[in-house]
Structure 1
Amino acid sequence: MTLSQDEAFARIRLLRSPNIGPVSYAQLLRRFGTAAEAIAALPDLAKRGGRAYRAAPEAKIEAEVAATRRAGAKYLFHDQPDYPRLLAETPGAPPIVTWRGDLSLAARPCVAMVGARNASAAAVKLSRDFARALADAGFTVVSGLARGIDGAAHEGALPATIGVIASGIDIAYPPQHAELQERIASEGLLIAEQPPGTEPRGSHFPSRNRIIAGLAAGTLVVEAAPKSGSLITARLAGEAGREVMAIPGSPLEARSTGCNHLIREGAVLVQAPEDVIELLSSFDGTPRSTFREPVEQHFDFAGMDGEDFEDAEPADIASLLTTAPVAVDELIRQSGTSAAAVQMALLELEIAGLLERHAAGRVSVKGLK
């Protein structure tokens, strides 16, 4: 689809406004039709949730757009044809990203490669060799530009690689990968969810990991300690119904513990690039790996009739919510009202800054600080 400049600007402003995340962004567009109408409705929605509200200032968005242009980047919106199909299918996919490079790389078969930052020399070489072989076989290698395994995967796959960063598109992180990040932006594809000028924070990395996992049909963990962020990416890949693969290591090596755990829990054991190629070349949406974290089933609001949501009056669910996360399905059952009414009430609370969303379609009220 072709967005008008006014609507594109309004969408950026909507997403950058306080308390708006991927879920509420999608719900607001579905209810009001355009971002401009949604922004106009925000103060009233927040008031019904019990708080005053101000949307992101237009001047702030104008500065962001200018910074994006200076960085040589472009915006990609969730409903544009070039938005990666597999990423669009993942829960909470980013509604807007900025990018530099060759966007067609995201349309090719993708495999994510992740692992330890303090990787062993052998694992770094293995990562580089695997990535080169996968790129030669026609795959795009996706990773997060971190030290160790990520950097080696990008180097081996260039130019057939996608770097997903936790900062703004104009911020190089880690600093020692500034040259590599620029090469990826020039020869491959660089993607950022955060606005330009944003320095990476701890909370940005799990968000980045969901994009890495979402872009790929499968995620390969090369080397990882028990509490590595790479295991978060593997879990997200499993939750999204993608392949989860791991290279085994010695039980005496702490950096192999994470991979061995994944294999024990159902990830596919991989020993050569051909194993990955064979597995993903025949991937039909049903992974052979059985690695999964327990995930509660939850109501899919995306499949709801838009008119039902548009006409819904918010349900009275305040007494049902606590700081303990609860599934939206359970709120629908206990409230005795429609899904659309519960959704509307949650939206108002979220915009007012009183609601927190969790994985697997669960929500809670924010604790007092």
Structure 2
Amino acid sequence: MFDGPLTAELDPGERRARLRLARSARIGPVTFHEALAHFGSAHAACARLATIGDAAIAREEDALAKAGGRFLVFGDPAYPPALATLPDAPAVLSAIGDLGLLGRPTLAVVGAREASLAACRLAGELAGSLGAAGFVVASGLARGIDAAAHQAALATGTVAVLAGGIDQVYPPQNAGLHAAIAGDGLLLSESPWGAPPVARAFPRRNRIVSGMSKGVVVIEAAARSGSLITAHRAAEQGRDVFVVPGSPADPRYAGSNSLIRDGAILTRDIKDILSVLQPPRSGPQVPVKPREKSAHPEAQKVVSALGSVPTLVDELVRRCQVSAAAVAEVLLALELEGRLERHRGNRVSLI
């Protein structure tokens, strides 16, 4: 398996043969590398294994070029160096955007699709701070945590790895973000042009997100979260796994807390990440504005009674022994400050 920098250009004939081999039926990434090792070249392997011809490759290459993209074939100088060391490195990636991002240190930020407002806010804060520290932020362009991380890192550099073809916008509500990353960041996909994002493609996508990164930050992962696949692949690949903890009573953090129990790095803010990974460049971090305390005289009682687990408003009134009107006023002030999240059933929690 490759274990050094990719510098020399591939022979054009060998490069086209690798594309044909990669797009052939029953040739996955592991089989692709085994075929290269066994036959000595993709050109020789194609004579026995290829099920697709030059014309089909030319059509896909033309469609990608019209969208402003290109292929990154295993062995190309521009191929992501961190991925090239993996035994199941993608044989070919479609890319649209700034290829220069592949030469910079990268961290992945992943988490729940149906994430809470607090978790999305934290994902944005962490991704923005990582970008300010010089890291590229990678994720999978899903709803929730992925989208929040990409959005926060657009100005400093973000890479979105897609499960379907690079032209497939999924989920539909991320169409604007998909276009923004194509313009100001980088889109990558292992799947062929036009391929739908089928279920089996997501774990394959996840190994790329983790494999191209120095580490993975997990935010709000439930017991069966797909983010756990990314975290486990990261550990297998020798990457660091950073996890934001949550309340043991909150099922949205069951997977996250289990990762910490099993040895992942407990992460409260960017300082916990930078204590493990050297930032790419020195310089001041993005300052975090201190939260102002609510001015209401009963505010401290109410804030002290709140936590990350949703609490009934009526219970707050009983516990704090203040009027319902006073609690409502404090909760409104906290909400306006961006410190409160409301839940169904008249429950609230701190962000």
Common fold: TM-score over 0.5: yes
Q: Is 1:6 matched up with 2:13?
A: yes
Instruction: From 162, 169, 172, give the equivalent of 2:159.
Output: 162
Instruction: String of CA shifts for 1:54-99, please: whole Å, max 9, x gaps.
Output: 7124432222122211221111122122222221122301021011
3-state SS of 2:198 partner = coil
Residue identity opposite 1:10 in structure 2? A
Consecutive unaligned residues in structure 1, runs of 5 or more: 43-53, 284-369
Question: Which residue number corresponds to residue 344 of structure 2?
Answer: none
Q: Give the root-mean-square deviation of aligned CA atoms.
A: 1.6
Question: Which residue number corresponds to residue 305 of structure 1?
Answer: none
* Between 262-271 and 6-15, the greater mean CA deviation after superposition: 6-15
3-state SS of 1:132 partner = helix
3-state SS of 1:279 partner = coil
Question: Which residue number corresponds to residue 259 of structure 1?
Answer: 256
Q: Is 1:106 matched up with 2:106?
A: no
User: What does 1:133-148 align with in structure 2 at a 5 Å threshold?
Assistant: 133-148=129-144
CA–CA distance in structure 2, aligned partners of residues 211 and 115 of structure 1: 16
CA–CA distance in structure 2, aligned partners of residues 192 and 137 of structure 1: 26
Residue identity opposite 1:217 in structure 2? K
Distance change in 2, residues 1:219/1:192 (3 Å): same
Question: Which residue number corresponds to residue 177 of structure 1?
Answer: 174
Cα pair 1:131 1:157 within 8 Å, conserved: yes
Question: Which residue number corresponds to residue 301 of structure 2?
Answer: none
Residue identity opposite 1:197 in structure 2? G
Question: Which residue number corresponds to residue 40 of structure 2?
Answer: 33
3-state SS of 1:124 partner = helix
Instruction: String of CA shifts for 1:202-256, please: whole Å, max 9, x gaps.
Output: 0000000000000111101011110000000000000011101100011121111
Cα pair 2:97 2:182 within 8 Å, conserved: yes
User: What does 1:60-75 align with in structure 2 at a 5 Å threshold?
Assistant: 60-75=56-71
CA–CA distance in structure 1, aligned partners of residues 27 and 119 of structure 2: 40
Of structures 1 and 2, the one scoring higher in RCO (CA 8 A, sep 6+) is: 1
Residue identity opposite 1:7 in structure 2? E
Question: Which residue number corresponds to residue 306 of structure 1?
Answer: none
CA–CA distance in structure 2, aligned partners of residues 7 and 88 of structure 1: 17
Instruction: String of CA shifts for 1:312-351, please: whole Å, max 9, x gaps.
Output: xxxxxxxxxxxxxxxxxxxxxxxxxxxxxxxxxxxxxxxx
Cα pair 1:15 1:25 within 8 Å, conserved: yes
3-state SS of 1:244 partner = strand
CA–CA distance in structure 2, aligned partners of residues 173 and 206 of structure 1: 15
Cα pair 1:116 1:148 within 8 Å, conserved: yes
Figure out how many residues of one structure are paired with residues of the other and give that number: 272
CA drift of 1:201 comes to 0.2
Residue identity opposite 1:17 in structure 2? S
Question: Which residue number corresponds to residue 293 of structure 2?
Answer: none
Q: Is 1:85 matched up with 2:81?
A: yes
Cα pair 1:71 1:169 within 8 Å, conserved: no
CA drift of 1:5 comes to 3.8
User: What does 1:333-348 align with in structure 2 at a 5 Å threshold?
Assistant: none
Cα pair 2:9 2:77 within 8 Å, conserved: no
CA–CA distance in structure 1, aligned partners of residues 77 and 89 of structure 2: 15
CA drift of 1:115 comes to 0.2
CA–CA distance in structure 1, aligned partners of residues 239 and 10 of structure 2: 31
Cα pair 2:164 2:197 within 8 Å, conserved: yes
Question: Which residue number corresponds to residue 364 of structure 1?
Answer: none
Question: Which residue number corresponds to residue 310 of structure 1?
Answer: none
Question: Which residue number corresponds to residue 191 of structure 2?
Answer: 194
Residue identity opposite 2:153 in structure 1? A
3-state SS of 2:193 partner = coil
3-state SS of 1:162 partner = strand
Instruction: From 140, 153, 162, give the equivalent of 2:149.
Output: 153
Residue identity opposite 1:146 in structure 2? A
Cα pair 1:73 1:169 within 8 Å, conserved: no
CA–CA distance in structure 2, aligned partners of residues 24 and 282 of structure 1: 36
CA–CA distance in structure 1, aligned partners of residues 37 and 193 of structure 2: 27
Question: Which residue number corresponds to residue 217 of structure 1?
Answer: 214
Q: Is 1:272 matched up with 2:269?
A: yes
Percent identity, please: 47
3-state SS of 1:168 partner = coil
CA–CA distance in structure 2, aligned partners of residues 235 and 69 of structure 1: 35
CA–CA distance in structure 2, aligned partners of residues 118 and 216 of structure 1: 24
Normalised TM-score (structure 1): 0.71
Cα pair 2:96 2:188 within 8 Å, conserved: yes
Distance change in 2, residues 1:127/1:282 (3 Å): closer
3-state SS of 1:98 partner = strand
CA–CA distance in structure 2, aligned partners of residues 17 and 86 of structure 1: 25
CA–CA distance in structure 1, aligned partners of residues 232 and 152 of structure 2: 25
